Structure 1
């Protein structure tokens, strides 16, 4: 699987977040709290959902399933004029991303094992310390093998 390389402009998001780890993965809890309220966000740019992760800088170099990270359930917005109570704003900084068009179960970790363990080490890039995210568009179907999503991995050119 070969990604397309894109330069992302800054994006504004509104949503909810939880701190979790792979050992204590609370993504279902996060989306259960966000999805019933997503219509409260009235200035969204698209109907796509964005599942975003903020890792510590050394998350992958000193990997442990108990390393904490922030997971966000969000929607892209035009501005931060109206943020519903109980939700927060987040800005994805611009930069270079490897974008993988993924089709399959969202519970299958093999795509991330491939990206981080095979594609990245054999590419001209290294991970950049910016948010990772998935765009869950019209073709996204939770827990369905025919589901489609975009996986955005922050990268920078190897020195």
Structure 2
């Protein structure tokens, strides 16, 4: 797996957000995305057709604690914030330095690869995950979580 390191500016996003934990992530995520997809077309000023799956954590969050809470977003990147219809919300991703790789396969296989990257690949490269910034995946318009050929562009904030 090829990991690249890059720095990006802040990103404006509009979408739906919920608070969840690792223990409930899969059941909550599917409901979040069903609700979001029904509203995606109403979002004006979209930068492209991609969707973003965003995880917002803080220094209290721990991947080792399945009950550790975080905010999860289903969103799109936008040029600007205007005409945001309820229950949609907006936020700005902080930007900064990221480790980027492409994950291929069904979503159920993602955690294994993700933990390998944050526990092995990043430390071997002299980095660690930055829990004060957002981690996100870019999903193209044809993405389906059960597809064995699905691809996600994974962005992990690093320090």
TM-score range, shorter chain: over 0.9
SS at match of 1:111: helix
Contact conserved, 1:139 with 1:149, CA < 8 A, in 2? no
The aligned residue for residue 44 of structure 1 is 46
Q: Structure 2: which 5+ residue stretches go unaligned?
A: none
- State how far apart, in whole Å, the 1-side matches of 2:65 and 2:152 are: 26
User: Which stretch has the larger CA shift, 87-96 or 62-71?
Assistant: 62-71
Following superposition, the deviation at residue 139 of structure 1 comes to: 5.2
- State how far apart, in whole Å, the 2-side matches of 1:123 and 1:2 are: 12
Contact conserved, 1:139 with 1:148, CA < 8 A, in 2? no
The aligned residue for residue 153 of structure 2 is 150
Q: TM-score, normalised by structure 1?
A: 0.92
The aligned residue for residue 143 of structure 2 is 140
The aligned residue for residue 101 of structure 1 is 102
Aligned partner of 2:115 among 113, 116, 137 = 113
Structure that is richer in strand per residue: 1
Q: TM-score, normalised by structure 2?
A: 0.92
The aligned residue for residue 128 of structure 2 is 126
- State how far apart, in whole Å, the 1-side matches of 2:142 and 2:105 are: 11
RMSD (Å) for aligned C-alpha atoms? 1.3
- State how far apart, in whole Å, the 2-side matches of 1:126 and 1:118 are: 10
The aligned residue for residue 67 of structure 1 is 68
Q: How many residues align?
A: 155
- State how far apart, in whole Å, the 2-side matches of 1:104 and 1:24 are: 21
Structure that is richer in helix per residue: 2
The aligned residue for residue 22 of structure 1 is 22
- State how far apart, in whole Å, the 2-side matches of 1:155 and 1:22 are: 20
Moved over 6 A (4+): none
- What whole-Å deviation, never above 9, does each CA across 1:90-126 have from its counterpart, x for those lacking one? 1011200000111111111211121112112211212
The aligned residue for residue 4 of structure 1 is 4
Contact conserved, 1:3 with 1:99, CA < 8 A, in 2? yes
